[in-house]
Structure 1
Amino acid sequence: MCGIYGSTIYYNNTEIEHKLERTRFRGPDRSRYDRICSNGTEVILGHNRLSIIDLCERSDQPLAYMGKIHIVFNGEIYNFQELKESLSKKGYSFNTTSDTEVICAAYLEYGTDCTGYLNGMFSFVILDIENNRLFGSRDRLGKKPFYYFYDGEDFEFSSQISSIQLHHKKMSVSEASISYYLAWGAVPDPHSIYNEVKKLPAGHSFTFQLDTREFSSFCYWDIDYLGNNIYKGTYSDAKEELEEILKDSVKIRLFADVPVGVFLSGGIDSSIVAAMATKVTTSAIKTFSVKFDHHKYDESHHAALVAKHLGTEHHTIACDYNEGLNLIQNYSHYYDEPFADSSAIPSMLLSKYTRQHVTVALSGDGGDESFLGYLRYNVVKKRSFFNIPYPLRKILSGLLSIPNSYKLNVMSKGALIRDLDEYYLRTMVNVDDSWLDNKYNYYDLEDRKYLEHKHKGYLERISDFDIKTYLINDINTKVDRASMAFSLEARAPLLDYRVVEFARSIPTDFKFLPGNQKRILKDVLYQHVPKDIMERPKKGFGVPLAEWFRNELKEYVYDTLNEAALKEIPGIVPEKISFMIQQHMNNQWNRAPIIWKLLVLKQWLNSNAKGLSID
């Protein structure tokens, strides 16, 4: 787990060191860069290393292999030992025990198809001297970030956008991306907050020809959204097969030359990861959870019960308000694009203290998307409102549109939603979008194709859509930045592509029955953890922002989002926001999600947009 950087743009040594230093928290063990000449073109490759496998300097990067290629790599390849054995039989030799050399040999053997052989989380770039090109790739589900600048001539890339931003002369803030952020809470792939910088989409690779300066990308993996791969076995068969996949997924993620632990909230997903971990190793498993003073957000008691049953060495971390406030005020240093998932704060606190005990932590991310666990899936399933003909709903909308009644006006807007596809998109954004200026179409996402087709049932389609959008743009971004802020590697067994592909193939009722979401995942877990420990209402992983904004952070909200400040924020209707803030302070309506979005955006603009145009 590291931070990578590279460029064909000339920067002096001080500037390169500055760029690497900006994200040194991603890899504090060693930092290095090389200037490499490829057929007359200089390429800069840089790397900040967090040592996980083969801790020796021989595995430091940039790494040269067989005198043919150079690589910078962020992430882990979990099947590297199996792949290494196969490549050794083909004549490749290895001088380290790391996974980095294995990527190099796989590239030399399989060319740009090499990523199909890798099971892991990764973003990497290879300088291929013989073919005079850069080749790079991002893992199937976007666990690892990859930003790049390309203007038709020069190419620059990094794990985080801030390294590209430094000393760059061609940057402007994207007003369209601000609109996306305000709607979705994150800037979706392939966009970034800057017009000139893009994200390589998950499951994609690219080539950049150093002679012609031509950049091209291609998709090497995607979810089966057309429903071609249908599981034929029984529920009992599927449950047994899923458990074997999960055991192996956890086992290969426990391999490291540093201490490894497990995030344990006490929910289904983290509990099944912890349970599998205790089954596949004889070593004592360390587990970690976070405790809040506010009972609504505190699951530490449930985590402790699961840990006690599994016999793990459990650590409970108290969430301190002052620490949380400090993280809020320094948020944009680590999330160097606007990012509004407030559960990033407890994720950062959990990572900070977990890092005092281990260098790697397994998480339960991915279970809700693949196994239909979100509460909103149940809400959508029950939505009978769309059985009413649209013309009648238009009449109802008119009747509900009553002046000075905010709730009825929101219901009026909801009545005008034409179908379930639009309804799901609107609920993911906000049924009430009156505070957005609507200059840009923030629903204009390429990934809508995963939702708006008829090849699968509705729940499967929204699950696919969430995997391609919410999981990649929000969950994976949150966990990567939160963990790497404190040099902790987070691994997600439920995001092993084999788990995701299996979940996409099994029938909906294996995963979802009325009143029983994540059915098959629960039934696997109940073989290892008693059902009575697990059965309780689902909670989100968050902080009490609504209460903080009305109390401890009240002045901070008023100071940051005053009338003058609101006028400086693109994409909003300032008068509406002022009204919503007052609604929140008067305890009339919970406006914490919108207030948090704007606080994060204003902080980012204050830190990063001075002197830059916004267009």
Structure 2
Amino acid sequence: MVEKRSGCRRFFIEKGIGLGHRRLSIIDLDTGDQPMFSNDGNIVLVYNGEIYNFPEIRADLEKEGVHFATHSDTEVVIEGYKYYGIKDLLDKAEGMFAFALYDRKNEKVFIARDKFGEKPLYYFQDEEKFVFASELKAIEHIIPHKKINLTALNLFLSLSYIPAPYTIYEGVYKLEAGHFFEISLGGVIEKYRYYNLSHKLKEWEPYKSFEDACGHLETLLTESVQKRMIADVPVGSFLSGGIDSSIITCLMAKVSGQKVKTFSIGFRQKDYDESKRAEIIARHIDADHSVEYLDYHDVVDHIDEILHHFDEPFGDSSAIPSFYVAKVAAEKVKVVLTGDCADELFAGYDKYLGSYYSKKYNILPRFIKKWISKTVNSLPYNQYTNSILRRVKKVIQNSETDHFEMHYRYMCMGFNEKERNKLVNSSFFEDIRPIIHKIYHSFDEKTDMEKGFYTDLNLVLEGDMLVKVDRMCMKNSLEARVPFLDSKIVEAAYTMPLHYKLKGRNKKYILKKTFENLLPKKTLKFRKKGFGTPVDYWFNNELKEDLDTLLSTETLKKQQIFNIEYIDDLVKAHRAGKQSNKSKLWNLYVFQKWYFKNNMSDSS
């Protein structure tokens, strides 16, 4: 039975199976509705996302005599499954997706997620049912007794996000990237991994030269941008002015030969404003550029709405400007391309440089290290030296530990292990190090730095960056596409030696050299900023009362999760200017907002 409700909502129900879908139409607007059936009615599919290489897969199938009734990539998934089977189809599919496919003849359901986790998929199972959805809020009401998953809580407090397979709720999980479920109607449920980067890299030959790698990267990224511009609706780009979004935007102009619609935001307060950088690129390619200037005071009004859309605690405060740039873009386009993922692939973060220098520092003679350490410790802290001294001290401290421990410290943007032990009451504490350690060492045939890149690809990218962009865009009925996350580009990047990516203090070196003639020269020297947010300002002004209430002794006593004295010390030290605890306090603020919004005090 198929039931159609308002808008693009449709449902399929049969033999204890229910599939539902609400569509944001991007390709084949008229005939791509779901659930979609195969011509013989044997296959039923609900599908969220896009297969970018569906024209090639479709052409291959047509050569084999397969006929198509629509121009939709959804039908390509159905016919691809019928011809290739689930595993080979997923191997071939290049895109972002989560889908459920019901094979009525063989009485099996396949539930799959894309290779890198661009699209979400949550699930809950007990002895009676298996429930899945693309949003956590869609299934949380069926949880018998909502309880906090302690592993997820500890991951969030340290990392500022909750990576797969965990969610904040006990018993509810995220399907990991590159995995699928095979569920038989008889009740047997099997989970398989279909994409393994470590295994894929064995198929690649090392690059013969730096120039060879540059040429290949240019070809791959140009093709990736072309594929991701395919749509039956207007397409634009997020343009921050940073190197990554600038390259993507300039390639869009080059391959399309048309004006690109670009979108940026800026803050009226200059400390966090990057709009001038974006305007340089927009003028360079004569883009149709839209920029909206925000005020610290105005933004606060939407924070609750933004946090609520993640369905669980999410502590990356750059979600706030991401929401606004998506809101601006959604007024003119339905699809945007972004510059995400380049940092994880081409060593774009300061922590990679820090790791690199820590290793270099470690091989210095002992007397030189002793002199450097003594000099650094004797220098006074002030507004000019604070940032530099903090980085140098971190390099020195990290040189004394192994690389995993160093990388783990960099990953803990919130509370580190010792701090978390003081923060939460003993019954709530869990050691998360083994989780990260396992991912780090699943790439053991590579160098320490490459293990760090791989860990970030699996945790930071999937759990933070992609979540932020997807949720904030979906909130505004906008689809975000990530050209750097093409599997061929990812595999190529991991085949390149480290010195292609880091040259002295120059991060993402190969990316800059490959596309240096595409961009204005001065943009290549811009220092990475990213989406900054004035959390400090808010906690001392508009959010001060809210923070004080959420972290009050009375509130914390009722919860019995956190150490009251430790939190009190954090707040006092921050407000006295003794130390910056904004990331820690933001994580606590976000968690408390989620906790009370979802009435978790009633579930405890």
Structure 1 and Structure 2 fold alike (TM over 0.5) = yes
What is residue 38 of structure 2 aligned with on the other side?
Answer: 65
SS where residue 140 of structure 1 aligns? coil
Amino acid aligned to 2:423: L
Q: In the alignment, is residue 588 of structure 1 matched against residue 578 of structure 2?
A: yes
Q: Quote the offset at 1:162 in angstroms.
A: 0.5
| Cα 1:336–1:382 shift into 2, 3 Å | same
Separation of aligned partners in 2, 1:556 and 1:59: 46
What is residue 480 of structure 1 aligned with on the other side?
Answer: 470
Q: In the alignment, is residue 424 of structure 1 matched against residue 399 of structure 2?
A: no
Cα deviation per residue 1:515-553 (whole Å; 9 max; x = unaligned)?
A: 111011111221111222331221121211112212232
Separation of aligned partners in 1, 2:99 and 2:442: 33
Of residues 423, 446, 452, the one that matches 1:436 is 423
Q: Which runs of structure 2 are paired with 1:374-453 in the superposition (5 Å)?
A: 374-383=349-358, 418-429=401-412, 430-431=415-416, 433-434=418-419, 435-437=422-424, 439-445=429-435, 448-451=438-441
Q: Quote the offset at 1:244 in angstroms.
A: 0.7
Separation of aligned partners in 2, 1:580 and 1:331: 25
Q: In the alignment, is residue 456 of structure 1 matched against residue 439 of structure 2?
A: no
Q: Quote the offset at 1:452 in angstroms.
A: 7.1
The count of aligned residue pairs is: 571
Contact 1:339 1:600 in 2 (8 A): yes
Of residues 61, 67, 76, the one that matches 1:87 is 61
SS where residue 559 of structure 1 aligns? helix
| Cα 1:295–1:210 shift into 2, 3 Å | same
Amino acid aligned to 2:255: V
Contact 1:361 1:491 in 2 (8 A): yes
Q: In the alignment, is residue 353 of structure 1 matched against residue 336 of structure 2?
A: no
Separation of aligned partners in 1, 2:478 and 2:444: 42
Cα deviation per residue 1:539-578 (whole Å; 9 max; x = unaligned)?
A: 1212111122122322221122212223455654221111
SS where residue 17 of structure 2 aligns? strand
Q: Quote the offset at 1:612 in angstroms.
A: 5.5
Q: Quote the offset at 1:239 in angstroms.
A: 0.6
What is residue 99 of structure 1 aligned with on the other side?
Answer: 73
Cα deviation per residue 1:436-485 (whole Å; 9 max; x = unaligned)?
A: 33621122316633357652222211111110110011111111111111
Separation of aligned partners in 2, 1:254 and 1:287: 14
Contact 1:224 1:504 in 2 (8 A): no
Of residues 224, 227, 245, the one that matches 2:220 is 245
| TM-score normalised according to structure 1 size | 0.87
Contact 2:358 2:399 in 1 (8 A): no
Of residues 224, 231, 237, the one that matches 1:256 is 231
Separation of aligned partners in 2, 1:135 and 1:514: 48
Contact 1:268 1:525 in 2 (8 A): no
Q: In the alignment, is residue 150 of structure 1 matched against residue 125 of structure 2?
A: yes
Separation of aligned partners in 1, 2:443 and 2:84: 35
Amino acid aligned to 1:34: F
Deviates more, 1:590-599 or 1:529-538: 529-538
Separation of aligned partners in 2, 1:215 and 1:338: 29
What is residue 533 of structure 1 aligned with on the other side?
Answer: 523
Q: Which runs of structure 2 are paired with 1:269-418 in the superposition (5 Å)?
A: 269-383=244-358, 418=401
Separation of aligned partners in 2, 1:69 and 1:612: 43
What is residue 12 of structure 2 aligned with on the other side?
Answer: 34
Of residues 107, 110, 115, the one that matches 1:132 is 107
What is residue 217 of structure 1 aligned with on the other side?
Answer: 191
| TM-score normalised according to structure 2 size | 0.89
Structure 1: tracts of 5 or more residues without a match: 1-12, 18-27, 401-406
Separation of aligned partners in 1, 2:244 and 2:399: 37
Cα deviation per residue 1:501-520 (whole Å; 9 max; x = unaligned)?
A: 11011111111111111011
| Cα 1:454–1:93 shift into 2, 3 Å | closer
Q: Quote the offset at 1:386 in angstroms.
A: 5.4
Contact 2:595 2:601 in 1 (8 A): no
| Cα 1:452–1:571 shift into 2, 3 Å | farther
Of residues 544, 550, 558, the one that matches 1:554 is 544
Contact 1:141 1:202 in 2 (8 A): yes
Separation of aligned partners in 2, 1:161 and 1:251: 33
Contact 1:73 1:123 in 2 (8 A): yes
Q: Quote the offset at 1:305 in angstroms.
A: 0.3
Q: Quote the offset at 1:489 in angstroms.
A: 0.3
Contact 2:268 2:294 in 1 (8 A): yes
Separation of aligned partners in 1, 2:468 and 2:158: 17
Contact 1:77 1:122 in 2 (8 A): yes
Amino acid aligned to 1:433: K
Separation of aligned partners in 2, 1:415 and 1:312: 44
Cα deviation per residue 1:323-380 (whole Å; 9 max; x = unaligned)?
A: 4212212234311011100000000011111100111010000000000010111111
Q: In the alignment, is residue 502 of structure 1 matched against residue 477 of structure 2?
A: no
Q: Quote the offset at 1:225 in angstroms.
A: 7.5
Amino acid aligned to 1:427: Y
Separation of aligned partners in 1, 2:176 and 2:365: 39
Separation of aligned partners in 2, 1:531 and 1:108: 51
Amino acid aligned to 1:436: L
What is residue 564 of structure 2 aligned with on the other side?
Answer: 574
Of residues 51, 55, 69, the one that matches 1:77 is 51
Cα deviation per residue 1:222-269 (whole Å; 9 max; x = unaligned)?
A: 222896444232111111111111111000111111111000111111
Deviates more, 1:99-108 or 1:568-577: 568-577
Q: Quote the offset at 1:281 in angstroms.
A: 0.6
Separation of aligned partners in 2, 1:195 and 1:443: 20
Deviates more, 1:545-554 or 1:515-524: 545-554
What is residue 6 of structure 1 aligned with on the other side?
Answer: none
What is residue 10 of structure 1 aligned with on the other side?
Answer: none
Contact 1:30 1:48 in 2 (8 A): yes
Separation of aligned partners in 1, 2:398 and 2:355: 15
Contact 1:29 1:50 in 2 (8 A): no
What is residue 404 of structure 1 aligned with on the other side?
Answer: none
Q: Quote the offset at 1:611 in angstroms.
A: 6.1
| Cα 1:353–1:94 shift into 2, 3 Å | same
Amino acid aligned to 1:60: D
Cα deviation per residue 1:103-159 (whole Å; 9 max; x = unaligned)?
A: 001111111211111010000000110111110211111000000111243110000
What is residue 207 of structure 2 aligned with on the other side?
Answer: 232
Separation of aligned partners in 2, 1:546 and 1:552: 10
Amino acid aligned to 1:255: I
SS where residue 126 of structure 1 aligns? strand
Separation of aligned partners in 1, 2:599 and 2:159: 21
| Cα 1:87–1:580 shift into 2, 3 Å | same
Contact 2:198 2:443 in 1 (8 A): no
Separation of aligned partners in 2, 1:389 and 1:523: 34
Percent identical among aligned pairs is 35
Q: Quote the offset at 1:70 in angstroms.
A: 0.6
What is residue 162 of structure 2 aligned with on the other side?
Answer: 187
SS where residue 483 of structure 1 aligns? helix
Separation of aligned partners in 2, 1:225 and 1:86: 26
| Cα 1:597–1:356 shift into 2, 3 Å | same
Separation of aligned partners in 2, 1:511 and 1:252: 25
Separation of aligned partners in 2, 1:568 and 1:108: 56
Amino acid aligned to 2:449: L
Structure 2: tracts of 5 or more residues without a match: 378-388
Name the structure with the higher helix share: 2
RMSD, aligned CA:
2.8
Separation of aligned partners in 1, 2:529 and 2:455: 22
